[in-house]
Amino acid sequence: MAMRSPTVLSSPAGLHGAVLLDKDGTLLENVPYNVDPVQMRLAPTAGDALRRLARLDMPLVVVSNQPGVALGRFGMEALHAVHRRLGELFLMHGARLSGFFYCPHHPAGTVPDYARACACRKPAPGMLRHAASVLGFDLRQSWMIGDILDDVEAGNRAGCSTILVDCGNESEWVRDAHRTPDFVEPDLDHAARVVAAGLQPTRAPLTQAGMAVPP
């Protein structure tokens, strides 16, 4: 089962969509295994993206693999401070964090309770499905945004529309139908523009780069 922060905020019940955001490399600068709130910094354009997404009245949910728990680099309790800092960063840019969900597992882990394969570690869709169950949103009307194809695969398998933020973090480029995003964008704010345009009755025209032009 996908794990979540025990202090996750609930969203209004209903079958509306949500925006699911990968954390490291997409929303935040990619600092491997970081759980120090002081070192948590938004990625370039992420502040603009949060302000844009906040206007859509959709739950904003962070979904993150956290193998550092299984690898013994930090304990589960360290993720409570991560959740608090994420909430602060969202509020600084006029947005509300509806939930922070994470997977603490890794098949090569050294901590017995978490050293295993699971259904919640991306690219599996279990964490996204668990978030939808807890917060009451429809994955088929939701967006998954991430910086690697594991994020894309998790979103596609869960039934979401998917956006790859191609900022250089994907290194393997193993492609198949599940690992093909609906859109490829250079940063999170460009991805947020696609989401905003997709909420219109008629999708906005696309540029040559594939980005929906905002109204």
Count of CB atoms within 10 A of residue 136's CB? 16
Based on the residue annotation, tell me whether 24 is a catalytic residue of this protein: yes
Q: How far apart are CA 111 and CA 68, in angstroms?
A: 10
- Among candidate residues 15, 11, 34, the one with its CA nearest the CA of residue 23: 34
Query: Helix H segments across the chain?
Result: 46-54, 78-92, 126-135, 149-158, 188-198
Q: For the chain, how far is it from start to end, CA to CA, in angstroms?
A: 40
Based on the residue annotation, tell me whether 22 is a catalytic residue of this protein: yes
- Provide the annotated active-site residues: 22, 24
